[in-house]
Chains A and B, each alone.
Chain A
Amino acid sequence: MIKNILKRILIAIPVLIGVVLIIFIMLRIVPGDPVTTMMGEHVNQAVIDKVSREMGLDQPLYVQFFKYVGNALKGDFGTSYRLNRNVTKIILEAFPNTVKLSVCAAVIAWLIGITAGIVAAINQNRILDRLFMGGALAGVSMPVFMIALVLQYLFAFKLKWFPVSGYDSLIYMVLPAIALGWNSAGSIARMTRSNLVEVMQDDYIRTARAKGLMESGVIIGHALKNAMLPVVTMMALQISSMLSGAVLTESVFGIPGIGRLAVNAIENRDMPLLQGTVIFTTILVIIGNMIADMLYSVLDPRIREGA
């Protein structure tokens, strides 16, 4: 098991280096001088040169890269051009908001998705199944910002049940969390249904029925346990799409999270902040993928023994 974890960490290291390299190169080939962009066109060339030297931008690209990686390993992602503050600090301030939003969204997605998936599987090929699965595919097809805007209009503006936007307490999180969790709920529902339908045809389910268990006991006690394996790993894999969705949700509801930070960084042409935000979120995704792999082997004895 420990060997397995170590192996996965070792595989993740080159991926991580690749991620930093790609982002680093992409942000360096931006047309125009970053210091001029930061300070405006009318600044004296001598001042621009001085600032460039101070920021190490006059050095060759590979030197800049290794310096950046070295600092990043120590947890230092550089200094924001616009805010003139440490990027790591800015990210760590915004991070808890994104985590809160994503956790709430995940809980909503699981509740809706798993329930809908089970109901659809029990009623396989009946009207309820078609209705729920059609709804799930519709859920997957809705743009995150559409759900966000519709929720904002209906429940915040018309019915006044929730605040329109902002970020003070948990009540502010309800609408953004539904908006963000909606798509995932659709995917989880579809996956739960298809796995449950498959598992329900297994021999041990027939045995469970034969020994006189009630149908609910068969599903909850036996089928669900195995059907949920891939669903659990999918949840960890959804960290990536959640973070993409968070960019949009945070934008609509004005939540000061990491997604909002990335959008602001682009608006302000703040390269170090954008670089730090993207690398930080990608590290989260890589960790999420590793957890998904490990969860699968922890939960599935066949893989655990094979590993």
Chain B
Amino acid sequence: MNTEYTRKEVLSDESQIGEQETWMDQVKKLIRQNKLAAFSAVLIVVIILMAVFAPLVAPYDPYAQVLKDRLLAPGKAHWLGTDELGRDMLSRIIYGARISLTIGLVPTLISMVIGTVLGLIAGYYGGKIDFTIMRFADVMLAFPSLLLAMVVMYTMGGGLVNIFIALSLVNWAGTARIVRAQTLSLKEAEYVEAARSIGVKSWTILMRHILPNCLPSLIVLFTLNIPSAILSESSLSFLGVGAQPPSASWGLAVVRGKKYLFTEPWLSIAPSVAIMIVVMAFNFLGDGLRDVLDPYLKEQ
């Protein structure tokens, strides 16, 4: 009895102290409130596992050409049919997930690190540094992103590594703008002023006091930037300036299948649907995360 009372007391104290929800609470809230976002998160995990264990999951070698089996319709042996070189489409789509997810994650991470660092510096130091960084960001944001990425690919040539570089260079400006805006308001907060007054170095203030408060927005932004990177890669590959054969890239598969659209439509539709499912899962998750984590981005 006594123990129970104490526990209740502690709980009520905790709820008073912890009026601000922790991230975990918010994530739990997300799962309760937004079933679609929760389902998307599970789907993303499944796709990631599928990509990691592709050699175990894929029924065939995605690069093995069996010319006698070319352009087979979907059936028992090949669930999604075969392409013009007799390669199993399902296996190629499973392997393609590796490319799409890597492209979604790596360049997004790089561009967000660049954007965050520049946004923090611009917002915190202000003045000429801010002006220079933000005008540079304005220039980057003025380009239609696909066209700029095409120019970068023209300069460096096709291939996956170059797509990494192209997308990292193209997409940092949006993050910089958002982080800068948040830094501008956070640097006026009392705890930052307090830190400054006891002589904490600027870099420590940025890393320890300002950046952690930008993290919820950054997590949401990261989740929403992944699908746009995946779409960019598939668009670049579709236009012939991205991944090069024999890569299992979904965008490349669509453009190769396009030639057979009226006779073997599954060749281009199946990889398109794969792109759509992954992009949609990240969009639903990002949308849900935004609702619970980030009032700032919601206002944007």
Of the stretches A85-93, A113-121, A140-148, A294-302, the one at the interface is A140-148
Which residue on B lies nearest to A138, using beta carbons? B280
Q: A6 within 8 Å of B by Cβ?
A: no
CB pair B151 A27 closer than 8 Å: yes
Q: How large is the interface on B (under 10, 10 to 19, 20 to 34, 35 or more residues)?
A: 35 or more
Q: Shortest CB–CB separation between residue B146 and chain A, in angstroms?
A: 4
A residues in contact with B146, CB < 8 Å: 244, 247-248
Query: For chain B, what secondary structure do more than half of its interface residues adopt (helix, strand, loop), or is it mixed?
Result: helix
CB pair A29 B155 closer than 8 Å: yes
CB pair B144 A141 closer than 8 Å: no
Q: Which of B267-281 contact A (CB under 8 A)?
A: 268-269, 272-273, 275-276, 279-280
A residues in contact with B276, CB < 8 Å: 138, 141-143, 146
Q: Which of A1-41 contact B (CB under 8 A)?
A: 14-16, 18-19, 22-23, 26-27, 29-31
Q: Shortest CB–CB separation between residue B228 and chain A, in angstroms?
A: 10
CB pair A240 B235 closer than 8 Å: no
CB pair B235 A19 closer than 8 Å: no
Which residue on B lies nearest to A140, using beta carbons? B283
Q: Which of B231-261 contact A (CB under 8 A)?
A: 231, 234-235, 238-241, 251, 254-255, 258, 261
Which residue on A lies nearest to B282, using beta carbons? A141
A269 CA to B262 CA, complexed, in Å: 31
Q: A285 within 8 Å of B by Cβ?
A: yes
Q: B227 within 8 Å of A by Cβ?
A: yes
CB pair A244 B145 closer than 8 Å: yes
A247 CA to B153 CA, complexed, in Å: 15
Q: Shortest CB–CB separation between residue A267 and chain B, in angstroms?
A: 7
CB pair B136 A145 closer than 8 Å: no
CB pair B239 A263 closer than 8 Å: yes
Q: B154 within 8 Å of A by Cβ?
A: yes
Which residue on B lies nearest to A30, using beta carbons? B155
A86 CA to B151 CA, complexed, in Å: 20
A289 CA to B138 CA, complexed, in Å: 11
B residues in contact with A144, CB < 8 Å: 235
Q: A79 within 8 Å of B by Cβ?
A: no
Q: Shortest CB–CB separation between residue B251 and chain A, in angstroms?
A: 8
Name the residue among A145, A278, A282 with the largest chain B CB count within 10 angstroms.
Answer: A145
A residues in contact with B36, CB < 8 Å: 134
Q: A274 within 8 Å of B by Cβ?
A: yes
Which residue on A lies nearest to B298, using beta carbons? A194
Per a CB cutoff under 8 Å, which of B261, B275, B287 touches A153? B261
Q: Interface residue count for A (Cβ, 8 Å)? A: 48
Q: B135 within 8 Å of A by Cβ?
A: yes
CB pair A248 B238 closer than 8 Å: yes
Given contacts A134-B36, A143-B272, A146-B275, contact A157 B261 (CB under 8 A): yes
Q: A255 within 8 Å of B by Cβ?
A: no
Q: A251 within 8 Å of B by Cβ?
A: yes
Interface string of B110-152 (1 = CB under 8 A from A): 0000000000000000000000000110110011111110111
Q: B265 within 8 Å of A by Cβ?
A: yes
A289 CA to B262 CA, complexed, in Å: 40
B residues in contact with A150, CB < 8 Å: 269, 272
Q: B284 within 8 Å of A by Cβ?
A: yes
CB pair A137 B284 closer than 8 Å: yes
A residues in contact with B135, CB < 8 Å: 14-15, 18
Q: A262 within 8 Å of B by Cβ?
A: yes
A residues in contact with B254, CB < 8 Å: 143, 145-146, 149
A282 CA to B142 CA, complexed, in Å: 6
Given contacts A26-B155, A141-B227, A145-B254, contact A244 B287 (CB under 8 A): no
Q: Shortest CB–CB separation between residue A245 and chain B, in angstroms?
A: 8
CB pair A26 B144 closer than 8 Å: no
A281 CA to B144 CA, complexed, in Å: 8
CB pair B143 A137 closer than 8 Å: no
22 cross-chain CB contacts under 8 A: A19-B142, A23-B151, A27-B154, A30-B155, A134-B36, A141-B283, A143-B238, A143-B276, A144-B235, A145-B235, A145-B238, A244-B145, A263-B240, A266-B239, A267-B240, A274-B151, A278-B147, A282-B142, A282-B144, A282-B147, A285-B142, A289-B142
New contact pairs (4) apart from A15-B142, A278-B148, CB-CB < 8 Å: A15-B135, A137-B287, A138-B280, A153-B261
